[in-house]
């Protein structure tokens, strides 16, 4: 395996398959892990994969239609303020401010009585970017959008889905949320 942080070119051998598996920007060929793009060699130690980050990969620009993974920071009567963690399926950092606003009218197709019954501070949510011009605005109306990971407001234990509500296995309390259709299936990236 070559030194981490080295610049490599397509076709360069960065490791052998006994050391690392092929990750983003690499492929395996005959027991070698080869760079497929020009960039910086790094090791994803969690998955033991060789990764080459393209040199021309600037910060990610957000655009309407992108699906964002966000953490809820603050809730008011009319809006939910979140921090965008990343764009779904992509780990690159985001350009500019990461704060975004979800207005109560954009939370659900159903009537929303109060923002606090749909999201709580600390929840991880999947939302669609609908505007980027004057601050980032989000919506979670579609079925696949909403909370993808939530914690008990009393004991912070992860909540488990029970039909249309979430339940804390410790406190045995139920909590309401605007739940994404695949809540609990592990799709949180
Ligand atoms: Zn609890």
Give me the number of domains the chain comprises. Answer: 2
The model's confidence at residue 7, banded by pLDDT at 50, 70 and 90, is confident
Q: How far is CA 36 from CA 33, 134, 172, 182, in A?
A: 9, 38, 51, 34
Q: Which range is least confidently modeled, 43-57, 63-77, 155-169?
A: 43-57
- Long-range interactions of 107-110: CB distance < 8 A, separation 24+: 107/80, 107/139, 107/140, 107/141, 107/178, 108/140, 108/141, 108/146, 108/178, 109/141
For position 11, which CATH number holds?
A: 2.40.50.100
Do 135 and 72 belong to one domain? yes
| 121/149 same-domain check | yes
* Confidence class for position 56, pLDDT limits 50, 70, 90: low
Q: Looking at the structure, do residues 17 and 104 belong to the same domain, yes or no?
A: no
Distance 119 CA to ligand 1 centre (A): 16
- In the predicted model, what is the mean pLDDT of residues 145-169? 95
How many angstroms does the Cα of residue 160 sit away from the middle of ligand 1?
10
Residues 38 and 106 in one domain: no
Task: Tell me, in angstroms, the distance from the centre of ligand 1 to residue 150's CA.
Answer: 11
Whether 188 is in a domain gets the answer: no
Residues with C-beta atoms within 5 A of ion ligand 1: 152, 154-155, 157, 168, 170-171
Q: What whole-number distance in Å separates Cα of residue 157 and Cα of residue 97?
A: 30
pLDDT tens column, 113-130:
999 999 999 999 999 999
* The model scores a pTM over 0.85: no
Distance of CA 185 to the CA centre of its chain: 14
- What separation in Å is there between the alpha carbon of 158 and the centre of ligand 1? 8
Ligand 1: centre distance to CA 116 (Å)? 17
In a domain, 29, yes or no: yes
Owning domain of residue 127: 67-175
User: What's the CA-to-centroid distance between 122 and ligand 1, angstroms?
Assistant: 14
Q: How far is the CA of 52 from the centre of ligand 1 (A)?
A: 42
Q: Write down how long the chain is.
A: 189
User: Quick one: 43 and 83 in the same domain?
Assistant: no
User: Is the same domain home to 11 and 90?
Assistant: no
How far is Cα 188 from Cα 186, in angstroms, rounded to an integer?
Answer: 6
47 shares a domain with 14: yes
């Amino acid at each position: 395996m070559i030194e981490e942080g080295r610049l490599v070119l397509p076709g360069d051998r960065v490791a052998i398959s006994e050391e690392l598996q092929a990750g983003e920007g690499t492929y395996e060929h005959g027991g070698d892990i080869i760079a497929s793009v020009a960039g910086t060699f790094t090791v994803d130690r969690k998955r033991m994969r060789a990764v080459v980050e393209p040199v021309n990969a600037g910060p990610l620009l957000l655009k309407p239609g992108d699906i964002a993974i966000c953490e809820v920071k603050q809730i008011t009567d009319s809006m939910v303020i979140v921090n965008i963690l990343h764009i779904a399926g992509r780990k690159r950092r985001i350009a500019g401010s990461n704060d975004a606003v979800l207005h109560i009218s954009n939370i659900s197709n159903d009537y929303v009585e109060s923002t606090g019954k749909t999201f709580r501070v600390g929840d991880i949510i999947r939302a669609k970017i609908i505007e980027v011009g004057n601050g980032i605005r989000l919506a979670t109306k579609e079925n696949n959008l909403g909370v993808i990971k939530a914690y008990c407001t009393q004991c912070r234990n992860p909540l488990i889905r029970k039909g249309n509500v979430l339940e804390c296995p410790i406190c045995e309390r139920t909590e309401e949320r605007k739940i994404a259709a695949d809540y609990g299936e592990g799709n949180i990236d």
